[in-house]
Structure 1
Amino acid sequence: MKIQKAKRHQVKLRIGLSGASGFGKSYSSLLLAFGITNDWSKIAIIDTENNSASLYSHLGDYNVLSLVEPYNPERYIQAIETCESAGMEVLIIDSISHEWNGKGGCLEIHEQLGGRFQDWAKVSPRHQSFIDKILQSKCHVITSVRRKTDYSMDSDMSGKTKVIKHGTKEETRTGFEYELTVNFELVNDNHLAKASKDRTGLFMNKPEFVINAATGKKLMHWCNEGISINDARAEINACSSIERLKEIYEKYDSLKAETHPLIVKRKEELDLVKSQIIEEKEIVNQKSINNYDGTN
């Protein structure tokens, strides 16, 4: 155990968007993603919504991975790993609702096992593996979640009564939003959003607004505050001892996934230098011995 001074290191964003059908989850996710990376080619969207992601291809040359049933957790995990291997910087999962209540999703798996309470012992670990994959991904991740639709009779500013569509409960396992950096709820078909969870403090208790690329840029600016991987890389490259490498590894605790390969590479370089020094010393010593013996 070790106590350290509190510092906010660079983090990968975990953003949620939820709303009823037609509220603009896919479009808003793409604008957010572009604001984060400013490069359409580094954005991938895992599309479970019948190829709806391609409807916005006019925005830019982003990448699409179409995911069809069965929507079990393992197939989602495989899709995420495929996007990571392709070098994507921002990953959109549109949507995660199918993993929970879609064809082949967790609710159906539970039902096929018998639908008993004890059957969740087999389903919950599979679902948690999917959640962990999102949280541990080396990409920034944006997830969209469907909300069940409800309707009400409301009056507009002119006093006319009309039917308004609302989103109610999220269609995924309860508690997912608590894992996120920010969770945006799209509240109506005018694409207005509000934050229902916000670790950044940028959006909570603020007026409703329309998500755009500037929202992503604001989040990225927040994300980049504090100590970055570039700071860690510079210290590692300048390091001249194994002991110091260990200290750097512990110092950047939240960046261990990124610093580990850099640490290993630098250790190999230092070991090589050390072996070369030892070899040179042995050569010098041997020459000294030979000169002393008069054999050279």
Structure 2
Amino acid sequence: MKLQKAERHQVKLRIGLSGPSGFGKTYSALLLAFGITNDWNKIALIDTENKSASLYSHLGDFNVLSLDEPFAPERYLKAIQICEESGMKVVIIDSISHEWQGKGGCLEAHEQLGGRFQDWAKVTPRHQSFIDAIILSKCHIVATSRSKVDYSLDKDGNGKTKVMKLGTKSITREGFEYELTVNFEFLNDKHLVSASKDRTELFSGKPEFIINSSTGKKLIEWCNQGISVERIKEEINSCDTAEGLKLIYNKYPNLSTELYPVVMARKEMLDNVSAQVIYENEIIQNLNPQNNEFSIK
């Protein structure tokens, strides 16, 4: 544990789009993804919305993975893994709401276990694995979620109970928004959005707007500022000592998960080289100069 200067590293984007059905989430997600990659072939859309992605095939040659029920967290994990292994740069999950409230999702799984509070002990780890897959993915992630109007029962000044409209609420487990880089909330069926959460400070406090490819370009430009993970990996692969590897690894604690396998692979290579040098030195030391032959003990 040590204190060090704050540095911003290049990270993968985690973007949320929330709104009711018909407000343009899928269309906006595709434009956003194209702005990030500028290559339709590097975009994959995990479609849980009854093959609705086909409605936008005219936009470009993006890839689609249809995910039907049951919408268990493990099936989402597998879908994300397939996209990563296929070399995608942006993965659109359209939508994550089914993982929570759909057929075979977390709420149904909890109900089948008995619906008791203690039954969440079995369901929560499964849901957390789904969240972790999004957070740790090596791809940029755009996750859409359906939303519904949220109400509360309050009493007015006369003591009468009234139904109060609080706004909209995403259909997923509470707290997902905290994991995102930016969350765009759709305000109406005219596709206008505002940023309900924004770590980039590109959109917070700004008037509502319509998402297009330039939105994605702004986000990827912000993302590419700071220390490049690829540059750090190059630094690791050019390091010649175990002590140097340790210093590099400890310098970037926020990237430990991503850097660890690279560091270990480099260390293994250095160990093999060191072992080879020792072996060759032993051979040279045991060389018989009389007959120019090797005499290995």
Residue 13 of structure 2: aligned partner: 13
Instruction: Report the Cα distance in structure 2 between the residues aligned to 1:214 and 1:54, rounded to whole angstroms.
Output: 23
- Structure 2 residue aligned with 1:266: 266
What amino acid is the match of 1:36? I
User: Quick check: 141-150 or 62-71, which moved more?
Assistant: 141-150
Which residue of structure 1 aligns with residue 158 of structure 2? none
SS at match of 2:286: helix
CA shift, 1:262, in A, is 3.1
Distance, in Å, in 1 between the alignment partners of 2:12 and 2:240 is 30
Q: Distance in 2 between matches of 1:41 and 1:80?
A: 16
Structure 2 residue matching 1:6: 3-state secondary structure: coil
Q: Tell me, what secondary structure is at the counterpart of 2:103? A: coil
> What do the CA deviations read for 1:115-152 (whole angstroms, capped 9, x no partner)?
222222222221111111111111111110101269xx
State percent identity of aligned pairs. Answer: 68
Partner residue, 1:147 = 147
Q: Does 1:52 align with 2:48?
A: no
The answer on whether the counterparts of 1:44 and 1:92 sit within 8 Å (CA) in structure 2 is: yes
1:153 maps to which residue?
A: none
Q: In structure 2, what residue type is equivalent to 1:97? A: S
CA distance in 1, matches of 2:91, 2:167: 24
How far, CA to CA, are the matches of 1:129 and 1:233 in structure 2? 27
1:78-114 C-alpha deviation (Å, 9 max, x unpaired):
1111111111111111011111111111111122222
Q: Give yes or no for the alignment of 1:230 onto 2:266.
A: no
The offset of 1:248, in angstroms, is 1.4
CA 1:79 to 1:277, structure 2 compared with 1: closer, same or farther past 3 Å? Answer: same
Give the match for residue 253 of structure 1: 253
Q: Is 1-10 or 219-228 further displaced after alignment?
A: 1-10
Alignment gaps of 5+ in structure 1: 151-165
Q: Tell me which residue corresponds to 1:159.
A: none
> Is 1:42 matched up with 2:39?
no
Task: Report what 2:84 is aligned to.
Answer: 84
Aligned to 1:135: 135
* Whole-angstrom CA distance in 2 between matches of 1:92 and 1:275: 47
1:165-202, Cα deviation, whole Å (9 max, x unpaired): x9722111112111111100011111011000011111
Which deviations, in whole Å up to 9, do the C-alpha atoms of 1:241-280 show, x marking residues without a partner?
1110121122233333443343234323323332333233
Q: In the alignment, what sits opposite 2:277?
A: 277
Mark the CA change 1:230 to 1:237 in structure 2 (over 3 Å): closer, same or farther.
same
Residue 212 (structure 1) aligned with residue 212 (structure 2): yes
CA distance in 1 between counterparts of 2:63 and 2:172 reads 25
Range moving further from structure 2, 227-236 or 29-38: 227-236
What SS class does the counterpart of residue 197 from structure 1 fall into? strand
Q: Is the 8 A contact 1:20 1:167 kept in 2?
A: no
Query: Does the 8 Å contact 1:70/1:104 carry over to 2?
Result: yes
Distance 1:45 1:280, change over 3 A: same
Within 1, Cα distance between the matches of 2:8 and 2:250? 14
Amino acid at match of 1:112: Q
Cα deviation code 1:44-101 (max 9, x no counterpart): 1110101001111111111111111111111111111111111111111101111111
**Amino acid in the other structure paired with 2:57:** S
Aligned to 2:97: 97
TM-score of the superposed pair, with normalisation by structure 1: 0.87
Label 1:117 to 1:274 Cα distance change in 2 as closer, same or farther (>3 A).
closer
Q: Is the 1:16–1:145 Cα contact (8 Å) retained in structure 2?
A: yes
Native 8 Å contact 1:167 1:187 kept in 2 = no
Amino acid at match of 2:30: L
Residue ranges of structure 2 left out of the alignment (5+ in a row): 151-165, 293-297
Distance 1:113 1:280 in 2: 64
Structure 2 equivalent of residue 63 of structure 1: 63
Question: TM (normalized to structure 2)?
Answer: 0.87
Q: Does 1:122 align with 2:122?
A: yes
Alpha carbons 1:36, 1:220 under 8 Å: kept = yes
